[in-house]
Amino acid sequence: MDLKEKLPVNVRDDKISEETKSLISSLPSHTDSHGNKMCRFQGCWYYYNTLQGVLNFQRGFQPQDTDIILASYPKSGTTWLKALTVALLERSKNHSSDHHPLLSHNPQRIVPYFELGLYIESSSPDLTKYSSVPRLFSTHMPLDAMHETLKDSPCKIVYVCRNVKDTLRVLFMRYEEMKAEPHDQIKRLADFLGCPFTKEEKENGCVDEVLDLCSLRNLSGLEINKTGKSYNWDNKIFFRKGEVGDWKNYLTPEMENKIDMIIQEKLQGSGLKF
């Protein structure tokens, strides 16, 4: 097998069209620490195949009013958010204890990415297998990249952000708050998704059950997440420490100060604080 074929498909450059090649030639370019090529488009850096996925999404995605899109920056709690959302929406199906989808499928597979999977090869992929209501999708695209496509849609977007030192109708969730106040934050998420916990569910411990099912300890210990693959990545890489403030073990004070200055500059006036 060619070494390039071993890379996750979104990191490669074998799916780009001639039109996209021409576009890339006009964009600022860069190579990452592993030598993989990237380019800057609409203010964001993308691997070449990922850019093709973004362009295909922008051209072809037709949102449905009930769609739910989970958006995040990589390594910001994406897998956890996917698991929590699936668990909340699956409550009404009354799965037996050993038949819940999270026990046999990685959350990354249950909630597919737009630009990293579905749209990487076509602007009109077959979405018939995602016909349940609501449809669940995910993305690492910034909201600006989705604005034109979604601006007239009432679909819901949940955006989880995290202190970068650890790193529409939109609900913003902070990873640090999800860790510190899991009960309050999951009820907030359920309310936004339109599937609030009933009084009976709260009294019967349903909130704790969802949190336990989606805990790092439980998900990382499942066989599917220890041995399976998603997007050519080993599933186990999606489960890290999950610790708030772990950046202190890796960043120097100088690096911390520089990041703080960038955060202050970029988020000024947004209402977001870290």
One domain, residues 126 and 22: no
Selecting among 95, 99, 140, 183, the annotated active-site residue is 140
Closest CA to 149 of 48, 39, 47, 71: 71
Q: Which domain holds residue 168?
A: 64-237
pLDDT in tens, 119-170: 999 999 999 988 888 999 999 998 889 989 998 999 999 988 765 555 456 7
Assess if residue 258 is contained within a domain.
no
Q: Is the residue at 274 inside a domain?
A: no
Q: Residue 37: what are its φ and ψ, rounded to 5°? A: -80, 140
Q: Are residues 41 and 90 in the same domain?
A: no
> What is the value of pTM for the model shown?
0.78
Looking at the structure of the chain, the number of domains it has is 2
Please indicate, yes or no, if residue 94 is contained in any of the structural domains. Answer: yes
Domain identity same for 116 and 205: yes
> What string of DSSP letters covers 83-152?
HHHHHHHHGGG---TT--HHHHS-HHHHS-BIIIIITSS-SS---GGG-SSS-EEEE-S-HHHHHHHHTT
Higher pLDDT, 61 or 258: 61
Task: Tell me whether residue 140 is one of the annotated catalytic residues.
Answer: yes
Q: Which long-range contacts (CB under 8 A, 24 or more apart) does 195-203 make?
A: 195/88, 195/89, 195/91, 195/92, 201/91
Backbone angles phi, psi at 174, to 5 degrees: -100, 130
